[in-house]
Chain A
Amino acid sequence: MHRYIFKRLLMLIPVLLGVVFIIFFIMDLAPGDPVYMVAGDQATEEELDALREQLGLSGNIFTRYFRYVNNMLHGDFGTSFVTKRDVFKTYMERLPNTIRLASLAMIIAIVVSIPLGIIAAVHQNSLKDTASMVLSLLGLSMPNFWLGLLLILVFSLRLGWLPSGGYTGFRSIILPALTVASGLAALLTRTTRSSMLDVIRQDYLRTARSKGVTERKVINKHALCNALIPIITVFGIQFSNVLGGSALAETVFSWPGVGRLVVDAINQRDIPTVTGALVMTTMLVSIVNLVVDIVYAYVDPRIKAQYTK
């Protein structure tokens, strides 16, 4: 098992180097010299050269890439063109807000979708099944930023129950979390249902039933444990979408997270912040995917057996 974790950690290095290069390449496509943005129109050619050197903007894309990776390995993700603050520090200040939002959204999604998926599978083709499938299809088809606006309209403006934006304690996280959770809950409901349908008629469940195990225990223990593997996989894959999707939800709710940091930085053409925030978010997603794979290996004894030999 340790070998597996070590191998996966090693594989993460080229992926992250590639990610940095792609983000670097995309940001390099932006027209205009960013140094003018920092120096202003009045700067002389010598001043511009000196500033270019100071900001790490001199040389071709490869030189700048290697310099960036070298600095990154020392924890230096550059300085914002706009706020002149350390990108790493700014990101770390915003990260807890996004983690809070993403975690609550994931909890809501699990709490709603797994029971709904189980009910749909156990009562296949019934009214309950149809209702949960229609709900999940609507959840998948609804843009989450629109749902966010509707939630603000109903719960903040009409009923006045919850704040419409900003971060002012637990009440302010409910609507953004519901917004981020909607798509994930819809997808997890469908995955849980189809995964449960796969295992629900297996022989070992018939055996359990014939031994007199209660139906509740058969579903919750025998069936769900085996159905969990695809659910965990989807959950891991979707973490990336939750972080990405939260950029829109954070904008709708003026939530001070990393998604909004990226959107604001892009609008201000603050390249170091965009690059740094994208690189760090991707690192986070990759690490979470690695953890999911390890959990996956623990949950499924067959996978665990491959690595404990």
Chain B
Amino acid sequence: MTAEKIETTQPESTELASKKYHKRSAFVAIWNRLKKNKGAILGLFILIIVTLLAIFAPVIYSYETDVIEQNVTNRLKPPSAEHWCGTDDLGRDILARIVFGARYSLAIGVVSVIISLIFGVTFGAAAGYVGGAFEDVIMRITDIFSSIPSILMAIAIVSALGKSTFNLMVAVGVSSTPTFVRVARAAVLSVRGEEYVESARAIGMRDWKIILVHILPNCVSQIIVQATLRVAQAIIASAGLSFLGLGVPAPAPEWGSMLSAGRAYIRNSSYLTIFPGLAIMITVLSLNLIGDGLRDAIDPKLKR
């Protein structure tokens, strides 16, 4: 009885171990290639710093006194030892606002991409897997969404839903969904005909389970690369909407709205415009470096 049990369980455990080993080795191989890419490591380093600053912002500065509280006697002070990036028109420390602003930008970038991932990957994977008329309908709807310039669509959505951080995330997320529908569909199409998918179908596995367990894990690398690059674009898009006055409501320290507020003082106090813009650029640059590095590491054939 015991011997029989051992006999039947052994091949399964070997298979499981080999699967785990395969997954680990694939991850290690990608990481080994990624860490040779100086740009990607620089990007990763910058992103870790920005993320740590965002997480520990309340430890470094006080939200109430440094970020929100107005101090008219301290207004428009140029960069100094006390205020490294100067103070704004309401006497608030610009660096403190930039550090807290990282929380908004990163959160908006990541959540909006998660929103577009949920919708994009669901519809894209379903379209690629089911095919036929269903695929046609999904892809035509995607065509319709992609023909509207994405920033204009985001502007329209946020103006209809009202100004709030969540609505900004929804607007940016919806406007970048078509990209993920296309990426997920293409990725699913590339593995749909593989033997392991046919075997799963042959043993009577349900379609949604095949997509979830067998197809998506094999497409995940392409989706991750696209997601990293889209977070970068989402940060720029959300800063743009805030710049137009359609983003995070004042007095929250969002980078785009800080740029917009600094515009009026650009002649004599250009630091109000320079520093928040630099913060956006550095964060977006780090994500672009990681995205490019990941793409090369995951698919070395694409490397130039």
> With an 8 A cutoff between CB atoms, is B36 at the interface?
no
Select one of A145, A266, A281 contacting B149, CB under 8 A: A281
B150 and A241: CB pair below 8 A? yes
B148 and A137: CB pair below 8 A? no
Docked Cα-Cα span, A274 to B157, in Å, equals 11
> With an 8 A cutoff between CB atoms, is B236 at the interface?
yes
Select one of A145, A149, A266 contacting B156, CB under 8 A: A266
A267 and B150: CB pair below 8 A? no
> With an 8 A cutoff between CB atoms, is B152 at the interface?
yes
Number of A-B pairs, beta carbon distance below 8 Å: 132
**Taking A22-B144, A143-B281, A146-B277 as contacts, is the C-beta distance between A243 and B149 under 8 angstroms?**
yes
**Taking A14-B140, A15-B147 as contacts, is the C-beta distance between A274 and B281 under 8 angstroms?**
no
**Taking A29-B161, A153-B266, A266-B156 as contacts, is the C-beta distance between A244 and B304 under 8 angstroms?**
no
Binds B, one of A36-44, A89-97, A245-253: A245-253
Docked Cα-Cα span, A259 to B151, in Å, equals 10
Q: In the complex, which residues of chain B have a beta carbon less than 8 angstroms from the beta carbon of A142?
A: 277, 281, 284
> With an 8 A cutoff between CB atoms, is A157 at the interface?
yes
- A115-140 CB contacts (< 8 Å) to partner B: 124, 137-138, 140
Docked Cα-Cα span, A152 to B244, in Å, equals 18
> With an 8 A cutoff between CB atoms, is B245 at the interface?
yes
Docked Cα-Cα span, A141 to B267, in Å, equals 25
**Taking A23-B148, A281-B152, A282-B149 as contacts, is the C-beta distance between A31 and B162 under 8 angstroms?**
yes
Select one of B140, B155, B245 contacting A18, CB under 8 A: B140
Q: Which residues of A contact B (CB under 8 A)?
A: 14-15, 18-19, 22-23, 26-31, 124, 137-138, 140-143, 145-146, 149-150, 152-153, 157, 193-194, 197, 240-241, 243-245, 247-248, 251-252, 259, 262-263, 266-267, 269, 274, 278, 281-282, 285-286, 289
Query: Can you list 29 contacts pairing A with B, beta carbon distance less than 8 Å?
Result: A14-B140, A18-B140, A30-B160, A137-B285, A141-B284, A141-B285, A143-B240, A143-B277, A149-B266, A152-B266, A153-B270, A157-B267, A193-B304, A240-B147, A240-B149, A240-B150, A241-B150, A243-B149, A244-B152, A252-B263, A263-B155, A266-B156, A266-B246, A281-B149, A282-B148, A282-B149, A285-B147, A285-B148, A285-B149
Q: Which residues of B contact A (CB under 8 A)?
A: 140-141, 143-153, 155-157, 159-162, 232, 236, 239-240, 243-246, 256, 259, 263, 266-267, 270, 273-274, 277, 280-281, 284-285, 288-289, 292, 304
